[in-house]
Amino acid sequence: MDLIKRFLEHLRVEEGMSENTIKSYFHELRRFREWFAEKKWSEVKQRDIQNYLSELIQSGLGARSIKHNLAVLRSFFRFMLEEELLQKDPSELIEFPKLAKRLPRVLSKDEVEKMLKAAEDNSVRGIRDHAILEVLYACGLRVSELTGLRLDQIHLDAGYITAFGKGKKERLVPIGESAISAVRKYLKQSRPFFDRNRNSPYLFLSRDGKALSRVSIFKLIKKTALKAGIKSKVSPHTLRHCFATHLLEGGANLRAVQLMLGHSDIGTTEIYTHLDRKRIQREYDLRHPRSRIRSEK
């Protein structure tokens, strides 16, 4: 079997990667394979990878894409090491390019409230759409986690849902009373209309009784944001950012937010602390005895 195919099968079976991720790995490996077509995989040296990445930079590829290319190559060569097809990883000493941290767009609490109200009406579609927004904001789910949410993952009486994130990692996420109420209303008044006795296992359904697509969720968010008078770009991930930021603003522990978001590295979660400087400064000013110089009367 071709070595790349063996590697991709390893990612699928052993690592539990999604098909979209596997496709991106295949694309990057095929591009690199075409670049050094005259050599065997075992003949690739560190300078070959460096020259390849330099050419990608010269072609105008950004630092994030370069980092992704290097990560793919590193993962592949580590696989070869494990399979005893290499004695040394040629990518091991190559450093990842530094990326500037881009702060995510976050809506204020009032803006989120306007969106939730804008989605609320008593039509079967409106009830469903309102429940979707409530769950996204209440639980901080990725859009893929929402579209894949099944009925057996919802535990409304206990107040939590079971989410499966990247690599199919399972985590428990609390769900608030407002979202619970919206989901109960959807299950009773709206979902039967979409399901029509098809017995779909998925929570949120389309008109044909299938799980809603990612595109449908993006369109819903965009339409609702415009209806709420929000002119900036809003996506499902925006509500995930709002979930994390508003929790931290309310005094939540960073580690707890990391677990709820399903981040494997707390460094990923720390970006939200940059969005909360005003609260941190306010806490310091209120609590530290030497935060201000006080004049004596």
DSSP-derived secondary structure for 72-133: HHHHHHHHHHHTTS-SS-TTTTPPPPP-PPPPPP---HHHHHHHHHHT--SSHHHHHHHHHH
Look up 155 and say whether it is catalytic: no
Query: Is position 297 annotated as part of the catalytic site?
Result: no
Tokens 């390019």 locate to: 97
Query: Known catalytic residue: 39?
Result: no
Beta-sheet pairing, 170-174 with 154-155:
unpaired
Residue 130 is among the residues annotated as catalytic for this protein: no
* pLDDT at residue 175, rounded to an integer: 95
Options 1.10.3720.10, 3.40.630.30, 3.40.50.300, 1.10.443.10; which CATH number does 109-282 get? Answer: 1.10.443.10
Q: Is 240 a catalytic residue?
A: yes
What confidence tens digit (pLDDT) does each residue in 163-179 have? 998 777 889 999 999 99
Q: How far apart are CA 168 and CA 165, in angstroms?
A: 5
pLDDT of residue 99: 53
Identify the active-site residue in 78, 166, 185, 222.
166
Q: Catalytic residue, from 67, 185, 263, 279: name it.
A: 263
> Can you give the residue ranges of every domain in the chain?
3-82, 109-282
pLDDT at 102: 61
Fill in the amino acid letter for 117.
K
Q: CATH assignment of 3-82? A: 1.10.150.130
The span from the CA of 115 to the CA of 141, in Å, is 17
- Give the chain's residues under pLDDT 70: 1, 97-104, 273-284, 287-288, 290-297
Tell me the C-alpha distance between 23 and 43, whole Å: 25
Whether residue 33 lies in the annotated active site: no
Catalytic residue chosen out of the listed positions 114, 128, 142, 191: 142
Rounded Cα–Cα distance for residues 291 and 281 (Å): 10
pLDDT attached to residue 89: 87
